[in-house]
Amino acid sequence: MNGTSMTGRTVLVTGGTGGIGRATALGLARMGARVAIVGRYRDRTEGVAREIRVAGGGEVEAFAADLSSMAEVRRLAGEALERLSRIDVLVNNAGGQWATRHVTVDGLERTFALNHLAPFLLTNLLLNRLRQSAPARVVTVSSNAHLMGRIDFDDLQGERSFDGGRAYSQSKLANVLFTYELARRLRTTSVTANALHPGVVSTAFGGEDPGGVQRWLVPVWRPFMKSPARGAVTSIHLAYAPELEGVTGRFFAAGKPRRSARSSYDEEAAARLWRVSAELTGLSGGSGGADDEAAARGGGQ
């Protein structure tokens, strides 16, 4: 990817209807990219797509999917493969945090399902298209909360003990472990994978089931938080910056590479997390092969 223009490139952004995701999509649209946004509700997603089209110019596609459902992730991947002839950048931005334990339609803990399993599955189902579009990039929005995370392989779903903050930190560490393992698996290709911390951004994040931090501290901190546009700067940078072509397996904050948590460099844990994630999502090939893409096109199982 040369130059600062994204003309001719297609970017798929999950969680693109608000906050950092919407700002990321708008910023890339203004750079000339064909942008595809994913939101949970069709009417709202189509409305935001129209707004970005007007404000940013260019072509903006809308995809609706509840990414906490693995069947919905598979349906989204199938629709994306049908409608997008190329995918130059995948921005895994969607995420959430809940104070109490919620279970998805698949019987999975919602934080782990939405924040980790959804980008894991979606990325794998789109990998062949990313390879075909190479040089291509996978950008995953993590958080500095990963520094406090621990992957509890004995209780990934928080069935024995649940704490919303702990579940969120675990999922954000999983984002980084996934990114590094993906980069290792793609090292012989022209597809890169990087993760990032967007900063502390003023959005509606966590408002659906707020804990004490969201209820009491966020209103106090809000005047000092970044705007969504500022929070999207690093995502946009990783999506287009020419100097990052070929840079992979890194963690960024404020647009610069940073050291992530020591535990995020545990290759054995990353490989184990990959295997467990493949089992939980029913990923047949485990690495975005033809069987997985065919399943996505067919709507999955």
pLDDT digits (tens, 9 = 90+) for 254-301: 999 999 999 999 999 999 999 999 999 999 755 555 556 655 665 543
Give yes or no for residue 148 having a pLDDT over 50: yes
Q: Residues with Cβ < 8 Å from 147, sequence gap 6 or more?
A: 169, 260, 261
Q: How large a percentage of the chain has pLDDT more than 70?
A: 84
Look at residue 207 in the predicted model and tell me its pLDDT. Answer: 47
| Domains of the chain and any CATH numbers | 10-297 (3.40.50.720)
Q: How confident is the model at residue 180 (pLDDT cuts 50, 70, 90)?
A: very high
Q: How large a percentage of the chain has pLDDT more than 90?
A: 81
Closest CA to 66 of 40, 38, 44: 40
SS3 210: coil
Alpha-carbon span 300 to 59, nearest angstrom: 28
Within 10 angstroms of residue 223's Cβ, the number of other Cβ atoms is: 7
Look at residue 296 in the predicted model and tell me its pLDDT. Answer: 60
Mean pLDDT computed over 143-150: 95
Mean pLDDT of the chain: 89
Q: How confident is the model at residue 227 (pLDDT cuts 50, 70, 90)?
A: confident
SS3 48: helix
Contact 109, 101 (CB under 8 A): yes
Give yes or no for residue 2 having a pLDDT over 80: no
SS3 1: coil
Q: Residues with Cβ < 8 Å from 220, sequence gap 6 or more?
A: none
Look at residue 122 in the predicted model and tell me its pLDDT. Answer: 98
Mean pLDDT computed over 166-191: 98
Mean pLDDT computed over 234-241: 97
Contact 290, 129 (CB under 8 A): no
Mean pLDDT computed over 24-53: 97
Look at residue 95 in the predicted model and tell me its pLDDT. Answer: 95
Q: How confident is the model at residue 208 (pLDDT cuts 50, 70, 90)?
A: low
Give yes or no for residue 43 having a pLDDT over 90: yes
Mean pLDDT computed over 227-240: 92
Give yes or no for residue 213 having a pLDDT over 70: no
Alpha-carbon span 173 to 167, nearest angstrom: 10
Scored b (16 or more CB within 10 A) or e, 56-80 reads bebebbbbbbbbbbbebbbbbbbbb
Alpha-carbon span 65 to 38, nearest angstrom: 7
Scored b (16 or more CB within 10 A) or e, 10-19 reads bbbbbbbbeb
The pTM for the full model equals 0.89
Alpha-carbon span 184 to 287, nearest angstrom: 12
Look at residue 228 in the predicted model and tell me its pLDDT. Answer: 80
Token readout for 51 is 């707004």
SS3 168: helix
Q: How confident is the model at residue 201 (pLDDT cuts 50, 70, 90)?
A: low
DSSP string, 247-289: --SEEEETTEEE---GGGG-HHHHHHHHHHHHHHHT-SSSSS-
Residues annotated catalytic, as ranges:
168
* Residue 105: alpha-carbon gap to chain centroid: 20
